Chains A and B, each alone.
Chain A
Amino acid sequence: MADETKDQIHEPLHTGPEFAVAEDDHEVVEAHPVAGSSLWRDAWRRLLKNKLAVFGMIVTLLIVLASLIGPAIIRRATGFTYDFIPKDTALTKSFAPFRATNGAFSWTHPMGTDNAGRDMLARVLSGGQISLMVALISTLVSLIIGVSYGATAGYLGGRIDDLMMRIVDVLYSLPYVIIVIVLLALLPAKSPTGQLAELFFALGAVSWLTMARIVRGQVMSLKNQEFVLAARATGVSTAKIIFRHLVPNTLGPVIVYATLTIPTVMLSEAFLSFLGLGIRPPRVSWGSLAAEGAQNLAIYPWQLVFPGLTMALMLFSLNFVGDGLRDALDPQMRRE
């Protein structure tokens, strides 16, 4: 690692892509990616130094992997899926973790089963798939809306910017969760898949505001720099300047904020599912599993404990990753 840093210091001339093209030299072409990615490399190095962030990344990765491939493995090995109800009526009841029909120790259900005898481990992992998917796609929706809105407002400036940001201020003070609840309760989609799409849209549409503000601020500080002027002088269209030249330069803060949005959205999804407004049966998510578990709390506590704690662990590590990324990518944002 020390060698790389030295290389960078000794090659101040070959930082811009123009030089790499102009001098048709093999060495320069090789050196270029190192110089070009130094910001990301530095950030990555800082991130790896942050023990909590590394812990968060490992746990996140483990849970994501388990959710992605776990259900398939369980089905191969035991035949259980999240909606598999055993035919044998002696099995359609809730077993404690690691317990078989006769109460003896057994590896069959490490997290127990729910009231219908469905394997909790399969349910928690499948629920993880849905929860992660909702969180990712909704964050993506909010990213697209927020970045384009903020970049447009910031670049155009003046009256349009004033108006667009006034709208954001107004939306900020709306109790939008209330409206989302009304929307999901009164207009439930016909199919579980439609319900998922509705969730993506509803959650994404309400979580882009801060992203818009961050991107606007970034764009405003960038738009008077030479490279934008150069682009404008060569006749590049406004839309192209915004999305080709300005948006890529705001990537750092955008990534940081997007990482911090994922746990928030995940929590919102779980909150809605807990109220019976989000994911509906037969699909499961961590929120809807926790809701089921809370109903059977007094007799079958494991039905709440496992999905609840899995989710808490996921949020815990995601928050650490987000905080770590913020410190690594943008040391100035550390204040928050």
Chain B
Amino acid sequence: MLRFIIRRLIIIVPMLFIILSLTWVLIRLAPGNFYTAEKKLSPAVEQNLREKYGLNKPWYTQYRKVLWNMARFDFGTSLKYEGQSVNQILWRALPVSAALGLSAYLIALVVGITIGTLAALRQNSWIDYASMALAMIGISIPNFVLGPLLVLLFGLTLFWLPPALWDGFPSKSLVMPAVTLSAIYIAYIARLTRSGMLEVMRSDYIRTARAKGLSEGQVVVRHALRGGLLPVLSFSGPALAFLITGTVVVERVFALPGLGNYFINACFNRDEPLIIGIVAFIAISVLGFNLLVDIAYGFVDPRIRY
């Protein structure tokens, strides 16, 4: 187990290297620069800017600086948000995205597992059909359509919830974004839970548990769920990657000051340090989370040994 973790940790380093290099190359391949605007700068000003930001140095010096910055996790100052370091922006935006992502995922887990289990226990009943139809709708409505529709209904017609506002973690302003983001995960998790539970409920150890005289509730909660939720657990790894793309959209729809919103703005502004900082941060969290899921898998499923 320990060897497995160490091996995986070592792989993370070259992967980060690849991601950062790719991002940096893309930024450099792109024509123009962050100071390119409609109004052309005078050559003297441009020269000064290039010197200030080290753009006149050869590419390998600049590239080395990017890697060195990454190693120290200090990405310098943002080019557009003046006087703010990238780290400051990261630490300010992270709680927003984390609160959004985690609450969406929690909602998805609770609702999705409940729906999926109910559907599996009453297979081929109307509960089953209704919940699977609901899941299909959840998968099919893009979050950038669902979000605005919710805003229209609850924000602009019924006036129950604020249409676009950030009010900190436990607040009314988080409800609509979190629900919007969670819809597709509810659907996926419900489908995964259902198929996982259907398979487990037919297995021998469930028959044994029933034969021991356990109540149906105990059989489901103590025995079946543990095996039936394995697909959900392995979905959690890729889910984080999806969750990040989801937060990008949802943060834009609801104008939340999260990582995704900053990331898109940074890309449009060609704010190189900020782009690299956010990409690095997202890459680390995705890679780290995948590792955590693999470790958790080993604990939940005793058949898996590394």
Contacts and interface: CB of A to CB of B under 8 A. Distances in A.
In this complex, which of A175, A181, A274 has the most chain B Cβ atoms within 10 angstroms of its Cβ?
A: A175
Contact of B264 (A181, A270, A336): A181
A297 B156 contact: yes
B146 to A, nearest CB: 8
Interface of B: 11, 15, 18-19, 22-23, 26-27, 29-30, 136-137, 139-142, 144-145, 147-149, 151-152, 156, 195, 199, 237-238, 241, 244-245, 248-249, 252-253, 263-264, 267-268, 270, 275, 279, 282-283, 286-287, 290
B145 A308 contact: yes
A311 interface: yes
Nearest to A286: B142
Interface in A163-179: 170, 172-175, 177-179
A305 to B, nearest CB: 7
Given A179-B23, A298-B156, A185 B268 contact: yes
B23 A297 contact: no
Contact of B23 (A177, A182, A311): A182
Nearest to B266: A185
B267 A185 contact: yes
26 contacts: A170-B15, A173-B237, A178-B244, A181-B263, A182-B279, A185-B264, A185-B267, A186-B26, A187-B30, A263-B140, A270-B142, A271-B142, A271-B249, A274-B252, A275-B249, A291-B144, A294-B147, A297-B151, A298-B156, A301-B152, A305-B149, A311-B145, A312-B137, A316-B137, A316-B140, A319-B136
A297 B152 contact: yes
A304 interface: yes
A257 to B, nearest CB: 16
Interface in A250-297: 263, 267, 270-271, 274-276, 287, 290-291, 293-294, 297
A37 to B, nearest CB: 31
Contacts of A301: 152
A320 interface: yes
A173 B23 contact: no
Nearest to A335: B195
Contacts of B248: 181, 275
A201 to B, nearest CB: 14
A250 B225 CA distance: 34
Interface residues of A, number: 42
Interface of A: 170, 172-175, 177-179, 181-183, 185-187, 263, 267, 270-271, 274-276, 287, 290-291, 293-294, 297-298, 301, 304-305, 308-309, 311-313, 315-316, 319-320, 335-336
B26 A187 contact: yes
B139 A315 contact: yes
Nearest to A169: B11
B142 A308 contact: yes
Contacts of A185: 264, 267-268
Given A179-B22, A312-B141, A186 B270 contact: yes
Contact of B145 (A179, A304, A320, A335): A304
B268 to A, nearest CB: 6
A319 B238 CA distance: 20
B18 to A, nearest CB: 8
A304 B253 CA distance: 13
A116 B290 CA distance: 47
A186 B269 CA distance: 9
A123 to B, nearest CB: 16
Contacts of B270: 186
A315 B183 CA distance: 15
In this complex, which of A290, A297, A311 has the most chain B Cβ atoms within 10 angstroms of its Cβ?
A: A297
A-B pairs, 7 with minimum CB distance: A308-B145, A185-B267, A316-B140, A186-B30, A315-B140, A294-B148, A177-B245
